[in-house]
Amino acid sequence: MIYLDNSATTLIYPEVLDTYRVVSEQFFANPSSIHKLGGRSEDLLHKSRQQAAGLLGVKETEVIFTSGGTEGNNFAIKGVALGYQQRGKHLITSTIEHAASLSAFAQLEDLGFEVSYLGVDEEGRISLDELRDVWRPDTLLVSLIHVNNEIGTIQPIEEVGRFLKDKPKTLFHVDHVQGLSKVPLNFKDSGIDLATMSGHKIHGPRGIGILYMREGVTLSPLLAGGGQEFGQRSGTENLPAIVGMVRALRLVMEKSHEGIAYLQTMVNGLRQQLAERSLITFHTPERGAAPHILNFSVEGFRAEVLIHALEEEDIYVSTKSACASKTSEVSHVLLACGLSDKEARQAIRVSLSFENTQKELNTFIDSFDKKTQELMKAMEV
């Protein structure tokens, strides 16, 4: 099997799976229980939070464990809007955010909030000038995806942070799910108040994530109850998944030192090889994109047809975001970049992890050529 859909999810590391099992068996007690077993679980939770904070370069009290990227985005966006609405009801985001963010903004619009959606250029990048134009003194939040999950475009997060530096009443949220370990981002230096991360994108367990919440920020909680996570996110902590995600985070951060350049080399090589095929149009920009994502269209082939053809070779790629891949709607990201409906329906995404190899990509190219030729012959009949 050659798995090239790592932006959708990643294969959990064996070490992480072992950690999850051990914690499930030996630290099963509720961390809130006052007996000795509860105390052991609480200690492990505390150590995990410390380790996560160290790896992310933030304070321990700024790490909030969530159930993943969807909850993290919803918590940040709705938590700011509802918690600070006395300041105003204006919010800013972009047209190419993940569905979790866009749906949260849509719900807030139904509640009377006003949302400004920044457009993007043909490479999927926002305009700082447009951001300056739409910002208002009553703007509560700017929320942007760091690395677009479909085409890999990196947004100018540091520049946005500098613009907002002298606007303390406007909070800055970043969806860092795709960028974590692949595109370095210093939360403090970039002026970020909130950042969303997800475990299953970095070879960790599903159902676990981290929301970085800058010290001094207070959100309106989505979940009320026992007051866990410093009173911000109630619910018995998912300790096996928390410890597993932190171990995965440590592993990918170690791999990233050499792995980022390794991924970029492989993606560059893949782009060069595909560019020799006349039917290919690339949607991932050559510069200013994440090192692990390559999105392109194959003229004359609907994406799902080619994806299923590659499945026959035990090779797995995808179309748009996995959260929306089963719907008939065209990618909102590609449409926002100016592609036609037809072009967008032909786009596929290859996304790598540190574990993919050059041999796998060579096999992908061979299989791609084989299947496109077979399909072309079938269409001629």
The reported pLDDT for the residue numbered 327 is: 57
Strand order in the sheet with 63-66: 63-66, 209-213, 194-198, 171-175, 139-145, 90-94, 114-118
Walk along the chain (381 residues) and give the pLDDT tens digit of each residue: 999 999 999 999 999 999 999 999 999 999 988 999 999 999 999 999 999 999 999 999 999 999 999 999 999 999 999 999 999 999 999 999 999 999 999 999 999 999 999 999 999 999 999 999 999 999 999 999 999 999 999 999 999 999 999 999 999 999 999 999 999 999 999 999 999 999 999 999 999 999 999 999 999 999 989 899 888 999 989 999 999 999 999 999 999 999 999 999 999 999 999 999 989 999 999 999 999 999 999 999 999 999 999 999 999 999 875 554 455 689 999 999 999 999 999 999 999 999 999 999 999 999 999 999 998 888 775
Residues in contact with 243: Cβ distance below 8 Å, sequence separation at least 6, in sequence order: 19, 20, 23, 27, 44, 48
The reported pLDDT for the residue numbered 328 is: 66
Do 77 and 115 contact (CB within 8 A), yes or no?
no
Which residues are bridge partners to 282 per DSSP? 296
The reported pLDDT for the residue numbered 152 is: 98
152: its two tokens: 């890999």
- Give the CA dihedral 196, 202, 204, 209, nearest 10 degrees: 0
Residue 225: what are its φ and ψ, rounded to 5°? Answer: 165, -120
The reported pLDDT for the residue numbered 378 is: 80
Bridge-based pairing state of the strands 347-351 and 63-66: unpaired
Residue numbers annotated as active site: 323
Q: Which domains does the chain have, with CATH numbers?
A: 2-7+257-380 (3.90.1150.10), 14-251 (3.40.640.10)
The reported pLDDT for the residue numbered 379 is: 74
The reported pLDDT for the residue numbered 363 is: 98
Side-chain-side CA neighbours of residue 40 (13 Å): 9
223: its two tokens: 């979940």
Do 244 and 205 contact (CB within 8 A), yes or no?
yes
Give the global pTM: 0.95
Which residues in 184-279 belong to E strands, given as ranges?
194-198, 209-213
